[in-house]
Amino acid sequence: MLANGFSMKRVYLSLGSNLGNRQANIGTALKRLSENGVKVQRLSSWYRTDPIGYTAQPWFVNCAAEVLTDLMPLQLVRRCQAIQREMGRRPGPRNGPRLIDIDILLYENLVMRSPEVTIPHPRMAERRFVLVPLAEIAAEAEHPVTRETVREMLGAAPTAAVVKLTNADHDAMAEKGRS
């Protein structure tokens, strides 16, 4: 319990980028999150993934992060959106190129639907680029609606190319996010 009366909440985030220096973009986002009330606990490996939907664009780097925060869900989504804007993300086509993307996958066992955010992420069970990194750090985490574990969702997810990148790249970015 914190001095303000709120307890830290366990949240799982998905981070991705397919423009510029993808890994540096994710590292910058992690650093900014850590400066804004979000404490990174664990970070998955980096994965190279093909775009889905809008395929005429560069490949992505994706990862998952387990974080602790005292921010409430809407505060957290607004903080993530502010970081994305500050880093230069602009509106574009759905599933289009992006400098940085930060999505809330799970927030404790919360189920929430609002105009600003849906938790758990409504398409996480369909996306290997989300589930592969998430399974690395939280295979037994449960979807609060379906009660399926991340491992179970991954087993049922559509096939897609998700390639693990080197440990050196991962370690450098993980350290940047913790500093």
pLDDT tens digit string along 114-173? 999 999 999 999 999 999 999 999 999 999 999 999 999 999 998 888 899 976 555 554
Residue 93: cis peptide before it, omega within 30 degrees of 0 = no
pLDDT beyond 70 at 5:
no
pLDDT tens digit string along 26-52? 999 999 999 999 999 999 999 999 988
pLDDT tens digit string along 10-23? 999 999 999 999 99
pTM over 0.85: yes
pLDDT at 3: 47
Active site residues: 89, 98, 101, 103
Query: Does 40 or 56 have the greater pLDDT score?
Result: 40
Distance CA 93, CA 29 (A): 21
pLDDT tens digit string along 91-117? 887 878 899 999 999 999 999 999 999
Domain boundaries, the chain: 9-178
Distance CA 126, CA 130 (A): 9
Distance CA 74, CA 107 (A): 11
Question: Dihedral of CA 69/178/35/66: which sign?
Answer: negative
Distance CA 159, CA 56 (A): 19
pLDDT at 170: 52
Among the four given CATH numbers 3.90.960.10, 3.30.70.560, 3.40.50.1370, 3.40.50.720, the one describing domain 9-178: 3.30.70.560
155 phi and psi angles, rounded to 5 deg: -60, -30
* pLDDT bucket at 179, cuts 50 / 70 / 90: very low
pLDDT at 175: 54
User: Closest Cα to residue 68, out of 3, 26, 11, 1?
Assistant: 11
